[in-house]
């Protein structure tokens, strides 16, 4: 059987030896091409010869047929293009050894097989299977996180999706008001606040606002706990002149209906976000490692569950902080050829993880002295805000990896002693008595 010589990536540490032993037991290599209503499978032996190839429907009967045909190869490894989360999860659940392949790498493997650019499902499967046969020893095998982490990760990611939808609805509402109701936009600054949406529902047009009168205006402000005297006085003046500058009657009739509909949708979405927040907090408290992530400066009740779900789903990478930094998009990509040497942003990464780490790192510098010093120093070097945050993120991920390995919460005093022991330049710029706080 043809075997590839172990690469340096496969033998970087002793913990990989078990992986290599398991890899040596693999006898067949499958390429899996996922589609919406059907899927293609091609299996190679160790010499690269096609031993079977078939297509099956995406149904219970189709998957039963697939399992029956693949049962002939008990020591089987499967390569599938990353991004097909449903396919990857199903294959892992069925007990196969699954290797996700980045779409860009998948395209390169296909081009290596067909330089002419020909693309078919057969070629996709063949390219994936052969690449797995030749190079898979150094690839990362997909593992399923524990059920609680998986559920928490899905809840957190779906919450972010709902927040993005809320932002889109708010933008649509503001655009509609701009066209027919400028006074409403002027009176309220925060259009993510339910009180602003309620205003549109109760006073959908400038004429309705004018007819309501001062008493109803004051009642509305009091009911929605808008107590700021100076701001409310300004609002009352705006309300009194609302019908003096607005859209035409036809525009008002049409756009007011849209504005009210958007306001009602926002109220419904906000209730669902509150439900998600409750579920996330409950699942977070149930996890035995929640205290580790709750101890992080600036994490707070919203970022800590996201960090836990994203990082513990990649627990194995805690042994390789550099790989974690790359997967999170914090480590840059370097390009060197002759006299040309440049470094640029890493775009191929785990985007939910990068988004989570980026937000938290920005918060951490407001609660941690050394983090703020580190960020400010990189800004003084001429780096952008985002670049300085990525540099700080690399430091934080190294600390987080150690916390996960050692199962210990963040200790500011311990980190200070480690800085002193290693002679960190950050310590020289840090105040004598750093005040490290935590997000409320």
Q: Given 3-state DSSP classes, what are the helix, strand and coil percentages for the chain, each rounded to the nearest 5?
A: 65, 10, 25
First to last CA, the chain: 60
Provide the pLDDT for residue 330.
Answer: 95
Question: Residue 10: what are its φ and ψ, rounded to 5°?
Answer: -85, -10
Residue 165 neighbours by CB under 8 Å, 6+ apart: 269
Provide the pLDDT for residue 292.
Answer: 95
Provide the pLDDT for residue 120.
Answer: 93
Topology annotation, domain 8-138: Nucleotidyltransferase; domain 5 (3.30.420)
387-394, long-range: CB within 8 Å, 24+ apart, which pairs? 389/358, 389/361, 389/362, 390/329, 390/330, 390/332, 390/345, 390/358, 391/330, 392/361, 392/364, 392/365, 393/325, 393/328, 393/330, 393/357, 393/358, 393/361, 394/325, 394/330, 394/331
Any idea where the domains of the chain sit in the sequence?
8-138, 149-283, 293-429
Provide the pLDDT for residue 435.
Answer: 42
423 backbone φψ class: left, alpha, beta (φ>0; ψ -120 to 50): left
From the candidate CATH numbers 1.10.287.4070, 1.20.120.1690, 1.10.3720.10, 3.30.450.20, the one assigned to the domain spanning 149-283: 1.10.287.4070
Q: Hey, CA dihedral for 349, 274, 409, 143, is it positive or negative?
A: negative
Q: What residues are paired with 334 via a beta bridge? A: 343
Positions of the chain with pLDDT lower than 70, given as ranges: 1-21, 421-423, 425-440
DSSP 294-343: HTSTTTHHHHHHHHHHHHHTTGGGGG-HHHHHHHTT-S-EEEEETTEEEE
Q: Would you say 40 and 93 are in contact if contact means Cβ atoms under 8 Å apart?
A: no
pTM reported for the whole predicted model:
0.83
User: How do residues 54-97 score in pLDDT, each as one tens digit?
Assistant: 999 999 999 999 999 999 999 999 999 987 778 888 898 888 99
Provide the pLDDT for residue 4.
Answer: 36
User: How do residues 311-336 score in pLDDT, each as one tens digit?
Assistant: 998 888 888 899 999 999 999 999 99
Provide the pLDDT for residue 426.
Answer: 67
Query: In the chain, count of helices (H) and strands (E)?
Result: 19, 7
């Amino acid at each position: 059987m043809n075997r590839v010589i172990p690469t340096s990536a496969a033998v970087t540490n002793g913990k990989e030896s078990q992986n290599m032993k398991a890899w040596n037991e693999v006898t067949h290599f499958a390429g899996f091409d996922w589609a919406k209503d059907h899927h293609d499978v091609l299996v190679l032996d160790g010499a690269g010869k096609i031993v079977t190839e078939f297509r099956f429907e995406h149904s219970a009967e189709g998957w039963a047929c697939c399992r029956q045909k693949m049962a002939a190869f008990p020591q089987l490894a499967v390569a599938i293009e990353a991004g097909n989360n449903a396919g990857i999860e199903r294959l892992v659940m069925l007990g196969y050894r699954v290797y996700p392949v980045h779409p860009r790498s998948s395209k390169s493997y296909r081009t290596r097989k067909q330089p002419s650019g020909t693309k078919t499902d057969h070629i996709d499967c063949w390219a994936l299977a052969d690449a797995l046969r030749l190079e898979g020893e150094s690839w990362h095998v997909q593992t399923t996180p524990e059920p609680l982490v998986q559920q928490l990760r899905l809840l957190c990611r779906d919450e972010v999706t709902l927040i993005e939808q809320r932002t889109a609805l708010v933008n649509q509402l503001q655009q509609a008001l701009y066209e027919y109701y400028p006074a409403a936009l002027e009176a309220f600054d925060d259009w993510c606040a339910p009180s602003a949406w309620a205003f549109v529902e109760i006073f959908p047009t400038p004429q309705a606002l004018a007819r309501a009168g001062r008493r109803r205006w004051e009642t509305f402000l009091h009911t929605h706990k808008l107590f700021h005297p100076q701001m409310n006085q300004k609002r009352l003046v705006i309300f009194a002149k609302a019908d003096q500058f607005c859209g035409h009657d036809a525009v008002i009739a049409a756009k007011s209906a849209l504005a009210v509909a958007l306001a009602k949708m926002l109220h419904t979405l906000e209730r669902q976000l509150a439900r998600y927040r409750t579920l996330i907090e409950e699942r977070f408290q149930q996890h035995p490692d929640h205290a580790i992530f709750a101890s992080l400066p600036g994490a707070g009740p919203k970022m800590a569950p996201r960090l836990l779900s994203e990082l513990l789903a990649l627990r194995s990478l805690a042994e390789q902080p550099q790989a974690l930094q790359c997967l999170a998009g914090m480590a840059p990509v370097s390009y060197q050829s002759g006299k040309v040497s440049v470094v640029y942003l890493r775009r191929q990464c785990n985007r939910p993880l990068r988004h989570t780490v980026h937000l938290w790192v920005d918060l951490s510098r407001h609660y941690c002295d050394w983090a703020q010093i580190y960020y400010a120093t990189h800004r003084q070097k001429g780096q952008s805000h985002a670049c300085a945050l990525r540099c700080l993120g690399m430091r934080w991920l190294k600390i987080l990896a150690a916390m996960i390995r050692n199962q210990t919460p963040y200790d500011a005093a311990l980190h200070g002693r480690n800085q002193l022991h290693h002679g960190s330049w950050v310590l020289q710029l840090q105040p004598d008595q750093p005040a490290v706080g935590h997000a409320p």
